[in-house]
Chain A
Amino acid sequence: MARTSNVRKGLSKQLKIDLKAWLFIAPALVFILTFTVYPILRSLWLGMNQLEMGMPKPYFVGFQNYVQLASEPLFWKVMRNSFAFSLLTVLPSMALGIGLAIIVNKKIRGVGFLRTAYFYPAVMPMIAIASTWMFIYMAQYGMLDQLLASLGLKSLNVLSSKKTVLPALSLMYIWKEAGYLMIFFLSGLQNISTEIYEAAKIDGARPWTIFRKITLPLLAPTMLFVSTIALTNSLKLVDHIVIMTEGAPNNASTLLLYYIYQQGFIYFDQGKASSLTVIMLVIMLTVSMLQFIKTDTKIYYN
């Protein structure tokens, strides 16, 4: 008798805690559910509908949007562009980030100034960076073309050539991102014990050997997690396209998220834009899963 009442008391106590916890979480949860979870489901649904300007209601078409996308050369071009932009930005900005982190991890006078100089682009809006770099890249009168002219070279007009537009945008982005990635590598470096380095030095190891055999392997977990950040950031970048190229020339600089924006809000084809959103969600999910699969297998031995 006493026992059952105790159990009941225990249950109701747990129920009270459950209710209280959910009540506390509810305000945050409502917004996350409405603007992150629900829209994911909604794009899955809208992606299977035809929904263009002037249509009052979506019209269910199944997977037709995806079939159509797959047969569209422009879609593949956009995918190639996004892939190229990520490739051109992620690895160089990570490599540069490691280099900068090694520099600011040394006891140099004025190291605070160096850190500030490398990191400040990360607190500037992409829009401001793009509108500044537009003048660097501007045809003929821009800083780059003027520099080339003063060296007696032909002006490049990088933003209007198919071949140079993505590398030019990538260079700008590497400049912005390297300092941001630097701070993660810096905290990674600071976690490596100085004893290892001292031991290596006593053994007469050269700086390059120390870097290859000690620093790089011990930074591996940091690199893995920074690569997810860098990849996600580069995939979702769109502001610079809006202000600098709008996808020109001939869609050579149209990236996936810009394409979604263009289809959804300039051409008002929200069905197609939703299928593109679903494709982008799958890519994002894959990118972040990558991190877990690999960390499970090895790398953490620090």
Chain B
Amino acid sequence: MKKNENIIPATLGFILAFVWLVPLVWLIGTAFSKASFAMSLVPNSGFTLDNIIYVWQNVPFGKYYMNTILIVVVTFSVQCFTGTLAAYALATMKFRGEKLVFLIIFIQIIIPNDVLIIPNYRTLSDLKLTDTKLGIMLPFFGSAFGIFLLRQTFKTIPLALSEAAIIDGCSTMQIIRNIYLPSSKAAYISFGLVSVSYHWNNFLWPLIVTNSPENRTLTVGLALFAKSKEAVMQWANVCAATFIIIFPLVLAFFIFQKKFINSFVSSGIK
């Protein structure tokens, strides 16, 4: 009786899952099979690494990889630093101007960065930072989402712990390092997954900021390749290039599915 109840949603669920997976299956299938003129869902030619090798050799994806990894790592590290300090103050201290700080942080949550491309690009050229990796990262060094997430977690840590530590002669930095950081690992992982996915996938801002291959990210590299003359009708190559840029994140997602989904839930709630 109980099992029958779920037969309809289960069947529907698996049919939908199949539909949802079609683009990914086709993408991977095409990336690893010999180029053919006719497009079909089931690859009709043999397995090959030629497309991946061709794309890797003809587009500086190695360089783009290094750039993207650097940007993602540095951005998240700085966000952690600025976010931890701000979250600590907002979670543990009562101070004048608290409301103003919340208001300012809140503005960042409402206004997505992409809307501000025009004025931010001007600020970047005032600072002479256009076409630099630092320029891509700079607007994201203060993360409202990170501050809120960490503050929420810090608030669950009893103040008595740090009061005891103060009596023992610990400095604030020691308290953060020895009490707050170790008890908030889950929050930092969530923050990290959301931040890394965002910056790995971000496109418009890096597109505007960069104009040399030296500083381009993977997404910008893929877009330029997909629109280039040599890519017209060469879907095997475009699929290979697409596969190259998505696989680390998608693979990580397939392995740590639960963790990813929980983190993204917190990203929306802010």
Chain A positions near chain B (C-beta within 8 angstroms): 14, 17-18, 20-22, 24-25, 27-40, 42-43, 46, 100, 102-104, 106-129, 131-136, 138, 141-143, 146, 175, 179-180, 183-184, 187, 225-226, 229, 232, 236, 238-239, 242-243, 257, 260-261, 264-265, 270, 273-274, 277, 280-281, 284-285, 288
Question: Which residue on chain B has the smallest CB distance to residue A112?
Answer: B257
A17-B95, A125-B203, A187-B265 are known contacts. Are A131 and B246 too (CB-CB below 8 A)?
no
Across-interface contacts of B20 in A (CB, < 8 A): 117-118, 120-121, 175, 179
The reply to whether A24 and B89 form a contact with Cβ atoms under 8 Å apart is yes
Partner of A31, one of B139, B241, B246, B249: B139
Mask of B222-237 contacts with A, CB within 8 angstroms, 1/0? 1100110000010100
A107-B6, A125-B201, A236-B115 are known contacts. Are A38 and B123 too (CB-CB below 8 A)?
yes
Chain B positions near chain A (C-beta within 8 angstroms): 6, 9-10, 12-14, 16-18, 20-21, 23-24, 26-27, 30, 37-41, 81-83, 85-86, 88-90, 93-98, 101, 104-105, 107-108, 110-123, 138-144, 147, 172, 197, 200-204, 207-208, 218-219, 222-223, 226-227, 233, 235, 238-239, 241-242, 245-246, 249-250, 253-254, 257-258, 260-261, 264-265, 268-269
A132-B23, A135-B235, A243-B226 are known contacts. Are A183 and B95 too (CB-CB below 8 A)?
no
Across-interface contacts of B222 in A (CB, < 8 A): 125, 127-128, 131
**In whole Å, how far is B178's beta carbon from the nearest beta carbon of chain A?**
17
Across-interface contacts of A225 in B (CB, < 8 A): 268-269
Distance of A4 Cα from B252 Cα, bound (Å): 62
The reply to whether A36 and B246 form a contact with Cβ atoms under 8 Å apart is no
Across-interface contacts of A27 in B (CB, < 8 A): 81-82, 85-86, 142
Across-interface contacts of B207 in A (CB, < 8 A): 242
Main secondary structure of the interface of B (DSSP, over half): helix
Question: Which residue on chain B has the smallest CB distance to residue A291?
Answer: B110
Across-interface contacts of B264 in A (CB, < 8 A): 119, 122, 180, 183
The reply to whether A238 and B114 form a contact with Cβ atoms under 8 Å apart is yes
